[in-house]
Structure 1
């Protein structure tokens, strides 16, 4: 993982919020992320694709749903930074409550 690209990805507020939500819940569906961030599905999907392409997130398909989680091969330094960011999360506490609208 390139450090500059990692921080560039997280410099965008939407992408930062997406990664923090996924890290908090371990795995989330696009519909969960759309609901919590109150953004359109195309906008969320565009940001998720970028995060996936840079190796920060990975996805899995289950029927018609796509679930995202932190990439299992994310370097430890990335996980440590994300853990620190979670402690000081800019997200309102309501955004971190239990989700899963697609189960």
Structure 2
């Protein structure tokens, strides 16, 4: 991971709500209701519908979308559109690379 990429991730993590979203998505089965649109199998397992993330985030729909976009651009989230729905999940590979960066460079 480059220093520039790490700085982008640090910026994405500089907001408590964005950190909360990442924490919620760590265990979607636990953090979202059984009625939530959580993909439980298939190629995007663990993805949560943006509307369910919005309901749980405590911020407006537009702010939720903006925060998800920032997390996506930083590489901390992955996104997939399925029909009319947009799903997000954590990008565990990037999170592992960031963890390694912190451990070895800082």
Structure 1 unaligned residues grouped into runs of 5+? 81-103
8 Å contact kept, 1:30–1:67: yes
Aligned-CA RMSD value:
2.0
Distance 1:58 1:47 in 2: 13
Partner of 2:14: 11
**Aligned residue pair count:** 80
Instruction: Report deviation, 1:43.
Output: 0.7
**TM-score after normalising by structure 2:** 0.64
1:43 is the counterpart of 2:68 = no
Structure with higher Rg: it is 2
**TM-score normalised according to structure 1 size:** 0.66
Structure having greater relative contact order (Cα 8 Å, sep ≥ 6): 1
Q: 5+ residue gaps in structure 2? A: 29-45, 101-106
